[in-house]
Chain A
Amino acid sequence: LRAWPRPSETPDIRELARRHYDDVFRFCARRIGSELAADAAQETFLTAQRCLGKFEGRSTAKTWLLGIALNECRRQLRTAKPALSLEIEMTDGRDGEQTIVDREAVRRALAALTPEHREAVLLHEVDGLTYDEAAEVLGVPSGTVKSRIHHAFIHLRRSLTMSLEELT
């Protein structure tokens, strides 16, 4: 199954942006916050525009773009001021208090993971990628993704259990 269209059907970068901008934006928002996400998403597509000729179709366009986006998020986190870098505020005002508390607990538990484990979890659980797709984005074997997710969940459960014990 060829993920990339044949040369005669190759869409331009605008077509890619139309198809995948939402995914890329949300991907960035989850990692660096919605304030920085528009910049990161834009830079992702500008980078893709520069590199479109080098794309060989070994991965899907989406995972290729998300790989670029991941690098851009890391770059932004390196250059952003600490006060902004981890700012992720996504409550929509319709949540119950308990839901928000739960969310915060889960986010704290995620934040306590190693970057490798956290990224594998985000890619699969939140971004909805398969293990193979997550592996493409991360540039690691699919088995590594499986292992990272497994271990990440062990840690998540441990962290959340401890949080619950602290509350009670």
Chain B
Amino acid sequence: MNPGDDTGPKEGGAPKEDMRLPQDLKAYLDGELPAQQATEVEEALRADPALRRELEHLKSLSEAVKNAFPEVATVGFEQTMAALDRRPAARYRPGPLLAAGTALAAVFALAVLLPRGAFMEGVAERAAVEGAPAGTSKEYAAESASDSIPGAGLQALPEGVPEGDSVPPARRSTETSEQQSKVRTFQDPLPGAATGEPGRPGGEGALGSPGPRSFMLPDLAEVRREVDALVRRTGVEVEEIRPGTFLLRVDPESFERVVETMNAVATRALSTDGRSRRVLTYLIEKQTSE
């Protein structure tokens, strides 16, 4: 019998007892046998040292498989909650996005794409643009990017951004539905990247749909230098809220200046093309007094 054939007699037929036992041994190890069969296996184990060794082998292999996949940090929960809020279910009403009277901070998100192979010191790769928890006192907003060509500029959203546009979407933009166009990541090369036109809108994955503005950058160092200098000048508070996602908390007086500076950083670097797959995101939040 072909050992890879799982439709053979071991599944559907009436295998001999000695043929069935090895398969039962694994199920026994997994605690998946009915009591009667488990008893049979235990009796066989007591009588057969080779079977006991077999059981130990199976245990070791099972542990090795489990250990082959160490835990990874979960990311994207807040974005998923926000995406669910944006698209009400047919039968179930989602929870309120914001409590009444909650202040909405003016925020914009800047997604920075790095060329493939770019070195990201101290920053883990992230494929998605991260938002902030919905329903908290602050809400994040991504501007609706109409283009990303040089000079297009970034602007902060005004306060009181509609709820539906208030969270940076994040997922692969390989489809055209309304929902999918709002939820995107920038893992794959942008349209035009292969032809030297970074971030040009048009076609699948284009930047013409709502979402954070994206920029191709030659390397991470340039961005980090600019942001570090900005932080020193303005006293902006920076927090890496997700790997590769930085929240800049800015007082109202400095907000416009920070936006302009970040805009300039991105625009200057925009002429560089490359094949991007990594993303840095800067969320710039105007602090409110409430």
Contacts and interface: CB of A to CB of B under 8 A. Distances in A.
B83 interface: yes
Interface stretch (B63-71, B144-152, B154-162, B255-263): B63-71
Contacts of A117: 4, 6
B128 to A, nearest CB: 5
Given A143-B11, A154-B3, A121 B65 contact: yes
A17 B81 contact: yes
B6 A144 contact: yes
A92 interface: yes
Interface residues on B, range: 35 or more
B127 A46 contact: no
A50 B90 contact: yes
Interface in A57-111: 76, 79-81, 84, 90-92, 95, 99, 102-103, 106-107, 110
Contacts of B171: 38-39, 42-43
Contact of A125 (B27, B66, B93): B66
A25 B22 contact: no
A92 B61 contact: no
Contacts of B90: 50, 52-53
Interface stretch (B179-187, B218-226, B264-272, B282-290): B179-187
Interface in B40-84: 57-58, 61-62, 64-72, 74-77, 79-81, 83-84
Contacts of B10: 147, 150
Q: Which of A80, A146, A160 has the most CB of B within 10 A?
A: A146
Nearest to B54: A157
A13 B187 contact: no
B62 A125 contact: yes
A14 B95 contact: yes
B227 interface: no
A21 B94 contact: no
A14 B81 contact: yes
B61 A46 contact: no
A52 B76 contact: no
B76 A150 contact: no
Q: For the side of the interface on A, what is the size category?
A: 35 or more
Given A84-B187, A156-B61, A131 B27 contact: yes
A17 B84 contact: yes
A10 B93 CA distance: 11
A108 B30 CA distance: 23
Contacts of A45: 80, 83-84
A144 B174 contact: no
B23 interface: yes
28 contacts: A10-B92, A12-B95, A13-B84, A14-B84, A14-B85, A21-B74, A25-B75, A26-B71, A34-B72, A34-B75, A35-B126, A36-B187, A37-B72, A38-B79, A38-B128, A41-B76, A42-B171, A52-B92, A76-B172, A80-B188, A84-B277, A91-B70, A106-B67, A116-B6, A125-B66, A126-B69, A146-B26, A155-B3
Interface of B: 3-6, 10-11, 22-23, 26-27, 30, 32, 57-58, 61-62, 64-72, 74-77, 79-81, 83-85, 87, 89-95, 125-128, 170-172, 174, 179, 183, 185, 187-188, 277
